[in-house]
DNA sequence: TATGAATGAGACTTCATTCAT
DNA sequence: AATGAATGAAGTCTCATTCAT
């Protein structure tokens, strides 16, 4: 009979000007880092709502008061945690090859693998995004950036006559990007076991992607199944 | 006129039932319905976390205590609200036509329109699903049901040699279903304005869907762009 | 982590004049009796504080509202239950014999057996006596009456030169009466198992009693052990 | 300045520790002690059931929330209060004399005087013992310890041929210990005036005790009446 | 900077009792 | 007399944040 806690006070828009310790001292830096690490661990373990500032401090081995030397609020530290994560979800470092198929495949795989590696915090980000507009925006902008990079690629493909020219790049990019994002959640943030395999998911997502864009390569070998 | 405060739990019987009004009387049924309606309104307005039981009661025009005649907790009434909504997101009663393209198109449109009509509560469901496993499961099962219906259709298409036989129906169904769900959120639950049009989204999603499945119809007129 | 409920409102001194159904109808009498029976059962099961009026009604098979047709409050019905019980704890019907030893023995045995037979409600009476002065007084007066009957007997024994004339009857009566009451609780209302046997307790209490009063009978056979 | 209400229980970690201040600082220790003192005063004044945590805090001069820094609940602080009291009810340190009669007398007097000095809290302990098994057990174990010390002494008397060998030490100890406990309640926790004098009660209890055990001292002067 | 105690608003929930039918 | 829904006062407990040392 789960019931749900209130975290409270101060959210979007702390206009307090208090200078917080930035960790200029090496000791300060260390404390701050410990708090960040602890926060991530606690958030992953308990979710944002149930995470208590006190728990974070305990986990970090600092006193409760110290927390506010470095962070304005629970929300703020959460954003800091978020900013330190997920940075590379879209790191389309697929630059290893020129083969379009391989690049798509690599991007998909990268997304899923990175998501898997960060599933714990991703789940919490997902949660807070439904609560806090700032975090929502972070998430949104990342997904949007992902979509934009896809969009550029689609245009390139169309320009190269590799992709169906009827496809609207902007819509398709969002749709396909969302599809991958959705699948990642399905695979790695389900409360119930799912019958999907990550490797196969990469293959299938890539196939759909190629089909969807109408990419017909000269020698497009079906992805290894 | 001294009064005796009470002791809860302990003594001998740890757990106590609690006869919740099932609305045997028409008056009871009415109150219950008022509470459900009020709850939905308050949840949409304030979100789950900020909604207070007291607000729901005020909105329903009942006394504070009446709430607990009918519901155990805010969580429970929320689940009841959820169960009364979204019932037809998947109502793929697109049976008006036999044309596969039209059916896909109809299903997508139905999904988006229904989502749009319920965007307020959908946003909250989305929120609570990240908090309450029961609600998550409701959501998940619905999306899964959606995917299963897609899966069946894909198999049919493949059987009829209309769709790419290499596509894995189970994966594709989840992916495409998720894509639509994602797009719905993008369109109707964004905090920032988005540059997408619902009608066009239906067209584009359908096109991607058709492409993805490799559906090549004899005389498939490209959806109006 | 037992915590403790508040029952509330109205206790000693309900000065309301509302005429309550006295059960003049035979149907009314029946309902009233059902409530009394149910109340005793619920009080024994849950204790006074945790017993809910609603539970009593459920147990009795009546509606919640009906309760107040017959009783003013939870407290009142409890007193009615008390009055219907324990009446014979002191029923010193030891008149079967003239042998003083046997009479004492019989009284002790009667007390313990009667207590045992009513241990459930006795425990609750005990509880409420610490809360409600009226109930405390009922209990006190009964114990006092018990003591007074003992006192009379002691005086008789002294008058007959059977008992130590130095013993103060009033003090001894309270002490010995309290001793028996205490032992009854020990035997029958312990939360933990105790290593005492009822029969042997009767013997030993009687022996102490006799010794205490210095009763030296011509042919005083030690009580069968 | 929106705030986020929280969700309790559920999510992943059902149970949460809660670092209760153990009073590491002297300031903390002081607050804790103030709360304990205040609690005792409030419990004595209002009884357990009517005592509110808020009252205790007011009495202690602390904020409402501070209470929970030190105690989990009203029940817990009550147990702590109990543990700090009554510690010497059984302190049969009557070792000033070797005279058995005097020792018994001293023990009885000690019990009554100590009870008298703590009658207020004893009454509440008595009350809570009928509600909370833990408190019942504390009480029970103390009385049991009292009885055991009596038992040992009885065995010693029997071994020294001072006491009736037919008396069962275990039963007699409980009976006599209970007798004293009962009398203490009668004297000091009656709602109505009682016609007993403490000094005389000591005398009479001692006499009964001696008689009961059949202690016949060489030159036992009857206690002053 | 660090510490850990103090603060206090505020939501939830219970259930005896009343009331309209 | 019976029914069962409605009422609402009241008390517990949480935890983010502040503060004194």
Hey, what domains does chain D have and what are their CATH numbers?
A: 26-80 (1.10.10.60), 100-213 (1.10.357)
Helices and strands in chain A: count of H runs, count of E runs:
9, 1
User: Average pLDDT of B125-143?
Assistant: 93
pLDDT at site D91: 64
Contacts 24+ apart (CB under 8 A), B24-28: B28/B69, B28/B70
Instruction: Find the DSSP H helices in B10-99.
Output: 26-50, 53-60, 67-70, 74-84
Alpha-carbon span C33 to C80, nearest angstrom? 11
Round and report the angstrom distance from CA (A5) to C1' (E11): 10
D85 confidence band (pLDDT: 50, 70, 90): confident
What distance in Å separates residue D187's CA from the closest CA in chain C? 11
pLDDT at site C4: 59
Question: D123 is written with which tokens?
Answer: 């009454």
Is residue B80 pLDDT above 60, yes or no? yes
| Tens of pLDDT, residues A126-143 | 999 999 999 999 999 989
Helices and strands in chain D: count of H runs, count of E runs:
9, 1
Listed in sequence order, the residues at least 6 apart from C163 whose beta carbon sits closer than 8 Å to its beta carbon are C154, C157, C213, C214, C215
Q: What is the DSSP letter of D66?
A: T
Is any Cβ of chain C less than 8 angstroms from the Cβ of B96?
no
Listed in sequence order, the residues at least 6 apart from C32 whose beta carbon sits closer than 8 Å to its beta carbon are C21, C22, C23, C70
pLDDT at site D100: 80
A12 confidence band (pLDDT: 50, 70, 90): very low
Question: D62 is written with which tokens?
Answer: 């602390």
Identify from D2, D14, D19, D69 which residue to disrupt to test chain A contact, counting A C-beta atoms within 10 A and taking the largest count: D2
What distance in Å separates residue B80's CA from the closest CA in chain D? 18
Alpha-carbon span D125 to D119, nearest angstrom? 10
Q: E strand or H helix at A5, and its extent? A: strand A4-6
By the 8 A CB rule, do C45 and B45 touch? Answer: no
3-state DSSP: chain D helix, strand, coil percent, rounded to 5? 60, 0, 35
Q: E strand or H helix at C108, and its extent? A: helix C100-117
Is residue B204 pLDDT above 80, yes or no? yes
Percent above pLDDT 90 for chain B: 72
Alpha-carbon span C74 to C36, nearest angstrom? 11
Q: Map tokens 């639509």 to a residue.
A: B180
By the 8 A CB rule, do A138 and A79 touch? Answer: yes
Is any Cβ of chain D less than 8 angstroms from the Cβ of A12?
yes
A58 confidence band (pLDDT: 50, 70, 90): very high
User: Which of the residues in chain C have pLDDT under 70?
Assistant: 1-24, 86-87, 90-96, 217-225
Q: Quick count: other Cβ atoms within 10 Å of Cβ B132?
A: 22
How far CA A12 is from CA of A15, A73, A135, C218, D93, in Å, comes to 9, 11, 10, 96, 67
Nearest C-alpha neighbor of D109 from the set D97, D124, D120, D121: D97
By the 8 A CB rule, do C107 and C201 touch? Answer: no
**Backbone CA torsion sign across C168, C171, C173, C175:** negative
Nearest C-alpha neighbor of B189 from the set A122, A135, A130: A130
pLDDT at site A93: 56
Nearest C-alpha neighbor of D221 from the set D94, D95, D105: D105
Q: Which residue has the higher pLDDT, A10 or B54?
A: B54
- Dihedral of CA atoms A14, A16, A19, A23 in degrees, nearest 10, equals -20
pLDDT at site C10: 38
Round and report the angstrom distance from CA (A136) to C1' (E4): 35
Question: D171 is written with which tokens?
Answer: 């039963």
Is any Cβ of chain D less than 8 angstroms from the Cβ of A47?
yes
Instruction: Find the DSSP H helices in chain A.
Output: 26-50, 53-60, 64-70, 74-84, 100-117, 119-129, 133-159, 169-188, 198-213
The rounded Cα A196 to chain-centroid distance in angstroms is 20
> What pTM was estimated for this model as a whole?
0.87
**Size of chain B in residues:** 225
Is any Cβ of chain C less than 8 angstroms from the Cβ of B1?
yes
The rounded Cα A87 to chain-centroid distance in angstroms is 7
Listed in sequence order, the residues at least 6 apart from B157 whose beta carbon sits closer than 8 Å to its beta carbon are B100, B163, B213, B215
Any idea which of A38-52, B131-145, C84-98 has the lowest mean pLDDT? C84-98
User: Average pLDDT of D180-196?
Assistant: 96
Alpha-carbon span D165 to D112, nearest angstrom? 28
Round and report the angstrom distance from CA (A3) to C1' (F13): 14
From the list A2, A8, A45, which residue is nearest D10 (CB)? A2
How far CA D177 is from CA of C195, C200, C209, D104, in Å, comes to 16, 18, 14, 11
Q: Please report how many Cα atoms fall inside a 13 Å half-sphere around the Cα of residue D194, on the Cβ side.
A: 20
The rounded Cα A119 to chain-centroid distance in angstroms is 9
Residues of B in contact with C3 (CB under 8 A): 7-10
Kindly tell me the burial class for residue D149, based on how many C-beta atoms sit within 10 Å of its own C-beta (0-12, 13-18, 19 or more).
middle
Is residue D217 pLDDT above 70, yes or no? no
Range ranked top by mean pLDDT from B30-44, C92-106, D134-148: B30-44
Taking the C1' atom of every nucleotide in all shown strands and the CA of B54, the nearest one is: E11
**Size of chain D in residues:** 225
Alpha-carbon span C97 to C101, nearest angstrom? 9
Is residue B219 pLDDT above 60, yes or no? no
Alpha-carbon span C224 to B104, nearest angstrom? 95
A27 confidence band (pLDDT: 50, 70, 90): confident
pLDDT at site A158: 94
Is any Cβ of chain D less than 8 angstroms from the Cβ of C49?
yes
Alpha-carbon span A184 to A111, nearest angstrom? 8
Which residue has the closest alpha carbon to E16 C1'? C8
B57 confidence band (pLDDT: 50, 70, 90): very high
Nearest C-alpha neighbor of C164 from the set C154, C173, C179: C154
Range ranked top by mean pLDDT from B19-33, D3-17, D22-36, D185-199: D185-199
Listed in sequence order, the residues at least 6 apart from B166 whose beta carbon sits closer than 8 Å to its beta carbon are A207, A222
Q: Please report how many Cα atoms fall inside a 13 Å half-sphere around the Cα of residue C158, on the Cβ side.
A: 17
pLDDT at site C100: 80
Query: DSSP assignment of C57-78, as one string?
Result: HHHHT--HHHHHHH-S-HHHHH
Any idea which of B81-90, B138-147, D159-168 has the lowest mean pLDDT? B81-90
How far CA D112 is from CA of D106, D156, D225, in Å, comes to 10, 24, 18
Q: Map tokens 């929280």 to a residue.
A: D6
pLDDT at site D84: 84
Q: Do C166 and D222 touch (CB under 8 A)?
A: yes
Supply φ then ψ for residue B129, to 5 degrees: -60, -25
Alpha-carbon span D118 to D124, nearest angstrom? 10
């Amino acid at each position: 009979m789960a019931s749900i806690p209130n975290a409270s006070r101060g959210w979007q828009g702390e206009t307090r000007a208090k200078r917080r310790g930035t960790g200029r001292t090496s000791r300060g830096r260390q404390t701050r880092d410990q708090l960040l690490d602890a926060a991530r661990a606690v958030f992953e373990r308990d979710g944002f709502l149930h995470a208590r500032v006190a728990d974070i401090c305990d986990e970090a081995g600092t006193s409760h008061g110290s927390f506010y030397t470095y962070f304005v609020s629970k929300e703020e530290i959460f954003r800091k945690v978020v900013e330190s994560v997920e940075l590379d979800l879209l790191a389309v470092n697929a630059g290893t090859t020129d083969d379009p198929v391989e690049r798509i495949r690599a991007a998909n795989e990268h997304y899923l693998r990175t998501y898997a590696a960060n599933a714990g915090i991703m789940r919490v980000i997902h949660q807070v995004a439904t609560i806090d507009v700032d975090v929502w925006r972070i998430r949104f902008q990342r997904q949007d950036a992902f979509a934009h990079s896809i969009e550029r690629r689609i245009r390139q493909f169309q320009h190269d006559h590799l992709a169906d020219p009827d496809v609207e790049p902007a819509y398709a990019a969002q749709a396909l990007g969302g599809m991958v994002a959705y699948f990642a959640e399905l695979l790695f943030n389900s409360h119930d076991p799912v019958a999907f395999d990550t490797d196969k998911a990469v293959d299938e997502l890539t196939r759909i992607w190629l089909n969807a864009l109408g990419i017909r390569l000269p020698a497009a070998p079906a992805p290894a199944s």
